[in-house]
Amino acid sequence: MTRRRQGGRLAALALWILLAAGAAGAFAGAAALYVFAWRPALPAIPTEFTIGEGKGLRAAANAMQRAGVLDHALPLVLLGRMTGADTRVRAGHYELQAGASSWELLQKITSGDVTLSGITFVEGWTLRQWRAAIAANPDIRKEAVPASEAELARSLGIESGSLEGRLFPDTYLFTRGSSERALLARALRAMDQHLEREWAARASDVHVRTPYEALVLASIIEKETGSPADRGRISGVFHNRLRIGMRLQTDPTVIYGLGESFDGDLRRRDLVADTPFNTYTRSGLPPTPIAMPGLASLRAAVQPEATRALYFVARGDGTSEFSETLAEHNRAVRKYQLGRGAGR
């Protein structure tokens, strides 16, 4: 055997040993990573952590290490790279159950299995009540939004400067740390969509000329009744009055015009004090909505119930008594609201 052949065999043997060692090393590394993937992640109790916007897997893993979720960040980064999950990390707030594995943790942060918070905006609330609820919610990020309604409205693309009535009341789920502006923008889009659909399905004889006028009327209907069954008929009364040029004479608009000075007791002097929202002293609709109407009130505003009634008064149980003549109405006022002054 020549030295050249011996050298060739030795080189081949060395290459085989290196390949075998490499394969063994890779196998050992893969085995170690497998063990890491399926062993419980720390800590051994339920915990919470947050991944910020724009963070990659390495930054997220480092944050989890600092929070005590992981002993070391690097194995999770390697596991993410091997599985292709390192590019799919989702920002948000997460809850990790006790004993969850690193693989389960990786699946959670790449599938967007975030912990959601919720906030409910009640039908008939005003913008002031919305903003108070947002300010009191610890899960909403308090960014530097304009303090005035006009500036806030313009920042959301509403050039009229009024957000009242423009936000759809509902329960909204959001990830912790979402901004106030993002939440209001969602509610604005929702109202625009609902209003567009209801306006397209409006009755042919409605006495509102634009979707915005329908929104204004819907807000009055929302504040005028506690009985869903009365919404359509109340809308019919207001449409009858608009048709003949009769003033709406509705207390909720007067109360809205009084603003923070309203102490809960509507007096006769309030009914004769002229403001842009006083529908006892001014004809037609007020300049803006007076609250955030729900879907049922939107629908009632554009699909009024056919009625000859021009008056209604609250019975005290959430329902209303309807009348066609002033004489009938005055009798109803004496019956249901004796001592409270004239009704509508």
Give the whole-angstrom CA distance, residue 296 versus residue 123.
10
Predicted confidence at residue 272, as pLDDT, reads 92
Q: What is the pLDDT of residue 70?
A: 76
| Distance of alpha carbon 112 from alpha carbon 62, whole angstroms | 18
pLDDT at residue number 265: 87
Task: State the pLDDT at residue 10.
Answer: 40
Helix axes 231-244, 211-224, angle to 10 degrees: 130
**pLDDT computed for residue 143 by the predictor:** 73
pLDDT at res. 26: 47
Domains of the chain: 35-114 (3.30.1490.480), 116-194 (no CATH), 201-336 (no CATH)
| Residue given tokens 């009704």 in the structure block | 343
Cβ neighbourhood burial of 90 (10 Å; 0-12, 13-18, 19+): middle
Residues 6+ apart with CB under 8 A from 87: 56, 57
Profile the chain (344 residues) by mean pLDDT over runs of 10 residues: 47 43 47 52 61 76 77 79 77 70 76 79 95 92 76 87 94 86 93 97 95 98 91 97 96 93 88 95 96 97 97 90 94 79 47
> What is the predicted pLDDT for the residue at 226?
80
